[in-house]
Amino acid sequence: MCKFCVQHGKGNKWFHHVDNFEKKHLDDKQRLELSRAIYLETSKENIPMSSFIAGYGMLLGGLPLLLRTPAVKYAVRPAANRLVEKYHVGQVITLEEAQRMVDISGHVALFDCWCRHRKGNSEACCMGVGAYGDLADDIPELKHINISVEEAKEIMKQYERKGCFHSVWTVKPPFISTICNCDNKVCHGTTGLALGVTSALHKGHESAGTLPGKCNGCNLCIPACPFGARYAIDNLTTVDVQDCFGCGLCRCNCPQGAIIMEEKS
């Protein structure tokens, strides 16, 4: 159990607790405003923003520069961690956990990946789920399509085969906004981690284990890991459980079926 489950899971994984997908969370005006703004950030239109959103955007836009500045980064990091923890926190999930989420949420709105969009690459692979997915239909400027649960599950599988990991995101936790299919080279979560903002993307609930009797030492799983958690030792490939984020990409790339995902104790 992670700290989010303790606070918001009611005995279950927090991202599988139906309460965290519900419309009542959007009664919070600030959350509604930020939810709409995150959607509209993926639109090419020049959308007017409220002072709260403009301020938040400026802060986030300026943070990477501050966090790369040696003299100030140690002072800025705690504030950056508090900011993302309060407004837009993410956690890595496995394919199975992501697929169960769409079963629970029922409705999926597919829209442009915010992080890829910021790098000039429009790719519709972010999935608004639950009440956040419903909100997409209320925003005329937003380009999105509504897809079925089965279509969403198939898209997730395709992205995993392309080397993308899954993550769950919030707008002011515990409200769940999206399931993402992330490219670690552009994802703001992994970028945040690299800058020392560890709250940007939390480790998942599972970790990878290797079955020695099945592993042939081909090492294909090492470059498949976006978090650098796999390494070779004595002709065997293994995982550093402390570094493992529980995404399951190594399992997807193992031709021997030698990797299993296990709940962390």
Binding residues for ligand SF4, per CB under 6 A? 113-116, 125-126, 167, 180-183, 186-189, 208, 210, 215-221, 224-225, 227, 229-230, 237, 239, 244-250, 254, 256, 258-259
159, 125 Cβ separation under 8 angstroms: yes
Q: How far is the CB of 31 from ligand SF4 (least distance, A)?
A: 18
Between 26 and 155, CB nearer to ligand SF4: 155
Between 11 and 258, CB nearer to ligand SF4: 258
Counting beta carbons within 10 angstroms of the beta carbon of residue 163, is it exposed (0 to 12), middle (13 to 18) or buried (19 or more)? middle
Q: How far is the CB of 126 from ligand SF4 (least distance, A)?
A: 5
Between 133 and 248, CB nearer to ligand SF4: 248
| CA 205 to mean position of chain CA atoms | 13
Q: How far is the CB of 127 from ligand SF4 (least distance, A)?
A: 9
First to last CA, the chain: 8
Q: How far is the CB of 83 from ligand SF4 (least distance, A)?
A: 16
217, 237 Cβ separation under 8 angstroms: yes
Name the nearest CA neighbour of 106 among 70, 133, 74, 136: 133
Between 69 and 141, CB nearer to ligand SF4: 141
Q: How far is the CB of 113 from ligand SF4 (least distance, A)?
A: 3
Q: How far is the CB of 210 from ligand SF4 (least distance, A)?
A: 5
Between 131 and 250, CB nearer to ligand SF4: 250
Between 199 and 237, CB nearer to ligand SF4: 237
Between 21 and 165, CB nearer to ligand SF4: 165
Q: How far is the CB of 70 from ligand SF4 (least distance, A)?
A: 27
